[in-house]
Amino acid sequence: MPSQPPLPPLLTSYLSSQPESSLTLISSILGATSNWLVLRYLYSALSTSNSSNAAIGFDESHNGAKKVVLVSFLRGWEFWRAEAKRLGLDLARLSDKKQFAFVDGLSELFCPPQTANAAPSPSPISAGFPARTTIPLRGPPGAVPGRAPVSALPALRNDNVARSPAELGVAKKLHFSGRGTAALDALEKDIIAVIEQLKAANDESEEVLLIIDQPDFLLAATGASMGIGATEMSEWVMGLQQTVHTTALTVAADSPLIHNAAASGNQQSTPVEGEHAAFAIGLAHRASSVMQLRTLETGAARDVSGVLRISRGGGLSGANGLDEKELLYYIQRDGSVKVFGRGES
């Protein structure tokens, strides 16, 4: 099968041009996750050329490449690194160059790290990726990077590495402690510190794109009893939004999380549902564009993974020129994505 370009042509214009201080909301559901779209955002912001075979970062004086901070609450560094590699993005290298920073909201968010004097935990990385030596790993052109197997076992690893190479790419691990806005402020401070580091790195481009993957989880897992509600979360997002050029967020838009509360009879809805609906819908009101992912209503199809609907959000800084569209997409086995209109293929 012909290989798909890393950026589907139909999406290029949506991914690349966001007005200043705009907010893009990506909504996903259980059966149609947003990771592939986030990866396309990363690619669109970080890659230097459109030809997928060009080694990324070869040209040091490139233009247009933005800086990206990715905050992920549900997926670890290993996932993002491996999946970006399939697209030809070497995130570890980019973070060395201070062009990219990963903020880990998964590993130690609610469980503080084991006591420091304990033996370093066995290397979490899978040895399928050879340890990075002084020369950054760069696959030969034409190799499908995503095929790098993750097979070998940690038995191969020597446990003496104090800080495994995999963790080098992680700029910060978030810890949640305390309650209410104080806890959120601490997280915000950590993230802003990373953003400022990235900004401080000498480079002419000051545009930082902030991607927060599923901040709604933070809301669900803390909730009202910890003094955090939709308003507090929205303010948290706004605080971060003010420090960067553009922001993209992913939230879950599953029916139980949105409609139980948004429907007229909101008596039965639980606080998790109510807060989530208020947060997600509130974000859509603020967003300049909303990208909604869902599965086909007619059931699964062999060559369609889901539907992507692109709409204008309610935000004042809205992209008025945005062309609203509904497209189908198909994730192929090698991770590449085909995007097409209904009735096309």
CB burial of 22-60 (b: ≥16 within 10 Å; e: otherwise) equals bbbbbbbbeebbbbbbbbbbbbbbbbbeeebeebbbeee
**Host H or E run for residue 166:** helix 165-168
- Shortest distance, position 60 Cβ to another protein, whole Å: 31
Which lies closer to another protein via its Cβ, residue 60 or residue 155? 155
**Strand, coil or helix: what is 213?**
strand
Residues 314-333 that bind another protein (CB under 8 A): 314-318, 323-326, 329-333
Q: Which helix (H) or strand (E) holds 75?
A: none
Helix H or strand E segment including 248 = strand 246-252
Q: Which of the stretches 41-49, 56-64, 93-101, 151-159 binds another protein when contact is defined by CB under 8 A?
A: 151-159
Looking at 9-17, 41-49, 93-101, 225-233, which segment touches another protein (CB under 8 A)? 225-233
Cβ proximity to another protein: between 208 and 284 the closer is: 284
Residue 51 or 114: the one with the smaller Cβ distance to another protein is 114
Report strand pairing: 325-331 vs 306-312. Answer: antiparallel
Q: Which of 180, 193, 201, 341 binds another protein (CB under 8 A)?
A: 180
**Interface with another protein, residue 145, by CB under 8 A:** no
- Using the rule CB under 8 A, is 252 a contact of another protein? yes
Among 18, 24, 35, 95, binds another protein (CB under 8 A): 35
Please tell me whether residue 223 binds another protein under the rule CB under 8 A.
yes
Cβ-proximal residues to 105 (8 Å cutoff; 6+ apart), any chain? 71, 72, 73, 74, 174, 213, 218
Do 282 and 25 meet the contact criterion of CB atoms below 8 Å apart? no
Least distance between another protein and beta carbon 216 (Å): 9
Single out the segment in contact with another protein by CB under 8 A; choices: 16-24, 88-96, 192-200, 202-210.
16-24
Which of 33, 44, 83 lies closest to 329 in space, CA to CA?
33
| Alpha helices per DSSP H over 56-141 | 77-87, 91-96
* Location of structure tokens 């000051």: 206
CB of 344 to another protein, least distance (A): 11
Q: How far is the CB of 47 from another protein (least distance, A)?
A: 19
- Closest to another protein by CB, 58 or 113: 113
If the CB atoms of residues 134 and 267 are measured against another protein, the closer one turns out to be 267
Residues 61-120 that bind another protein (CB under 8 A): 73-76, 78-79, 83, 106-111, 114, 118-119
- By CB under 8 A, tell whether 139 contacts another protein: no
Q: 10 Å Cβ neighbour count for 302?
A: 5
Least separation in angstroms between residue 215's CB and another protein is 13
Answer yes or no: are the C-beta atoms of 25 and 54 closer than 8 Å: no
